[in-house]
Structure 1
């Protein structure tokens, strides 16, 4: 079984795990490609491949294009060798996804985060849904590698605690020991990180990116969360808060009125946009972020004007991040993007106008997709990667 194999720590298994990991991230791969990646001898690679195949952890995939002589065989991961649960816990919804070892979604479900979704209610629903999925697919504890959580911060990763996030509809989201609560129901490896961090890890895995690439992933909505990945590793801050980018000050007040500083999040959050629209509407007020998005989707000219103005400030904030980080890829994800593509265009246009040395560090802008399970995918990848640390 894969779980037993991944727990082995002898030198023999360290080498086999290295081969397995390369096939997992970049496969299908040929024997010569694995020799180049691992710097191992052909006899060693051959022995490891035979043992991995005997354990049913890899399989023969196809033959690579021949340059003369017998075409080289290619090897890939056996996707049914194990499973991982990825959870995306946000202020808007919670999503639970079962992935196979190629991180293909096998089953997924979600529920909205309402005023009734206190930590106790939310954790209860997560437990129930995971148990339903496991039973439906007849997955044993030995087959399930673990559960990954991508959630709102700040968090204490070491103790598995959500500390004191803002903007949840329900009360009680302070010092929530969510990992401990889940471990009372599942004797599994459980890992937690900010949703923006797991999202950028998910994108890295999805595109099989080169390790040298730096990726910036931004999720905006009720706030702003950003994840950065460099050299295949998430860049984490000590306080476990991916919302720190949103605290970037875009408008500084005088030294005697510092409380009037305006941050990037204050310019672009759905709550701020709703309040700004309501201040100037001469008709019924907008009651929720969902109604704001609906008005935007229907083409309300005033709502569009307010949102496009915020896109300008978002672009400036993104440019500041790019000037410091110099990412190769910049991925933007927001419910606004789904209903108003002009918002994305304005953000990118503004960012490019403020990027220092755009000619040297242009970066590739991309729009994230809600259908890609980036947060839950990255949470599952986090669990998988933990076996190789």
Structure 2
């Protein structure tokens, strides 16, 4: 399926501009659209009639009167079409069905086990997509497509997942995920790395607040980042999603777990892998900790064991997480000093459900930020939480409607 079919749904460039203005606001009057667009009354009236006739926008009542007739209010029609959003990560994958307001109609997730090869996952996604459509009374003609946010590196133009690390299953190399899903579903498919789709989702959720410069950092098995500036995703010459994890914190520091990784890289100090490694080492040393009662073999320890001990305020776990968060905060400070975003959204397993890590990291970052307090940055866990990657993938598809 061709993505051009999406961009051609609104063929008129000026109509795209008006539709985008309406999408950014809950409701908006014609007078407000005249001020925002700079168009003539006749042009705007014609475009609003076209968009209403297509079912893209709705008349949603009347605004407050300023002396004359009450103005008609317009809003986006959330039921004009629907979108699938797909997250493919190392630990889990998730499919969501949303309308154009990103209201979730259905969702399903899969654990990424050693059996979850590309073929196995795609087969289950296709089956579940058909089930979701039937369960929600939707026809494929009502679908815009499927957006995919995947662990990088990816080639978003060819729609392929390239050479991601640490997948439990074999076969996740050079996977033409867009072609494979498009053929199975009969829908257009788009791909970007998960950090980019997450920030797209969070930016959309906060569209009324008009942050021009947003930074997203995902902390989990590795560290991934993305940035939006002036409403546009920042792309490098290559997919740079995981590059922040290779930021050098200590030049003669810890050897990276990958042969090609940097010595003293940030993710060697602040990642699920680093925390599990530190906890296992402490157990082997015989350190006093609740972890010793939770597991017999230190090599079987996981981050979930660490979180359970944290809930009981285990001193060793607090120490390990505080140290990891401190290093993560140093990495954040480096990013702030280079990029100067207005807002930083933190996501991933290390942030979700771990207030100690979030608070420690952000406090360290603020203390080490140049120009502070003149330069103020807002830290957030975001509004979409664990749904950010999948919903952001759907936003990516929706954005094709206004692409020039």
Question: Does the 8 Å CA contact 2:205/2:384 hold for their aligned counterparts?
Answer: no
> Which residue is equivalent to 2:90?
91
SS across alignment from 1:202: helix
The Cα offsets for residues 272-320 of structure 1, whole Å up to 9 and x where unpaired, read as 1111111111243153233333333343221121011010010010011
Does 2:251 match 1:266?
Answer: no
> Which residue is equivalent to 2:235?
236
> Which residue is equivalent to 1:386?
400
SS across alignment from 1:193: strand
Question: Does the 8 Å CA contact 1:211/1:231 hold for their aligned counterparts?
Answer: no
Spell out the pairing of 1:359-374 with structure 2 (5 A cutoff).
Answer: 359-368=373-382, 371=385, 373-374=387-388
| Inter-partner Cα distance in structure 2 for 1:294 and 1:184 | 43
SS across alignment from 1:373: helix
| Inter-partner Cα distance in structure 2 for 1:305 and 1:370 | 29
Cα 1:216–1:126 shift into 2, 3 Å: same
Once the two structures are overlaid, the 10-residue window that deviates more, 284-293 or 360-369, is 284-293
Once the two structures are overlaid, the 10-residue window that deviates more, 85-94 or 137-146, is 137-146
The Cα offsets for residues 89-128 of structure 1, whole Å up to 9 and x where unpaired, read as 1111111111111111111111111122122222222222
Q: 1:59 Cα shift? A: 1.1
| Inter-partner Cα distance in structure 2 for 1:305 and 1:62 | 57
Spell out the pairing of 1:1-389 with structure 2 (5 A cutoff).
Answer: 6-8=7-9, 13-209=12-208, 213-253=212-252, 261-281=263-283, 282=286, 283=292, 284=296, 285=298, 286-368=300-382, 371=385, 373-389=387-403
Q: 1:370 Cα shift? A: 6.4
Question: Does the 8 Å CA contact 2:6/2:400 hold for their aligned counterparts?
Answer: no
| Inter-partner Cα distance in structure 1 for 2:39 and 2:355 | 49
| Inter-partner Cα distance in structure 2 for 1:105 and 1:207 | 17
Cα 1:302–1:308 shift into 2, 3 Å: same
Question: Does the 8 Å CA contact 2:28/2:74 hold for their aligned counterparts?
Answer: yes
Query: Where do 5+ consecutive residues of structure 1 fail to align?
Result: none
Cα 1:259–1:5 shift into 2, 3 Å: closer
- TM-score, length-scaled by structure 2: 0.89
Q: 1:358 Cα shift? A: 1.6
| Inter-partner Cα distance in structure 2 for 1:92 and 1:8 | 36
Question: Does the 8 Å CA contact 1:99/1:106 hold for their aligned counterparts?
Answer: yes
SS across alignment from 1:68: coil
| Inter-partner Cα distance in structure 2 for 1:260 and 1:214 | 29
SS across alignment from 2:350: helix
Question: Does the 8 Å CA contact 1:148/1:382 hold for their aligned counterparts?
Answer: yes
SS across alignment from 1:268: coil
| Inter-partner Cα distance in structure 2 for 1:332 and 1:212 | 15
Question: Does the 8 Å CA contact 2:201/2:392 hold for their aligned counterparts?
Answer: yes
- TM-score, length-scaled by structure 1: 0.92
| Inter-partner Cα distance in structure 1 for 2:193 and 2:127 | 23
Question: Does the 8 Å CA contact 2:250/2:264 hold for their aligned counterparts?
Answer: yes
Question: Does the 8 Å CA contact 2:94/2:110 hold for their aligned counterparts?
Answer: yes
Question: Does the 8 Å CA contact 2:202/2:383 hold for their aligned counterparts?
Answer: no
Question: Does the 8 Å CA contact 2:211/2:342 hold for their aligned counterparts?
Answer: no
Question: Does the 8 Å CA contact 2:56/2:76 hold for their aligned counterparts?
Answer: yes
Query: Where do 5+ consecutive residues of structure 2 fail to align?
Result: 287-291
Question: Does the 8 Å CA contact 1:161/1:179 hold for their aligned counterparts?
Answer: yes
SS across alignment from 1:174: coil
| Inter-partner Cα distance in structure 2 for 1:105 and 1:202 | 13
Aligned residue pairs, count: 383
| Inter-partner Cα distance in structure 2 for 1:9 and 1:108 | 29
The Cα offsets for residues 332-353 of structure 1, whole Å up to 9 and x where unpaired, read as 1132333331211101110001
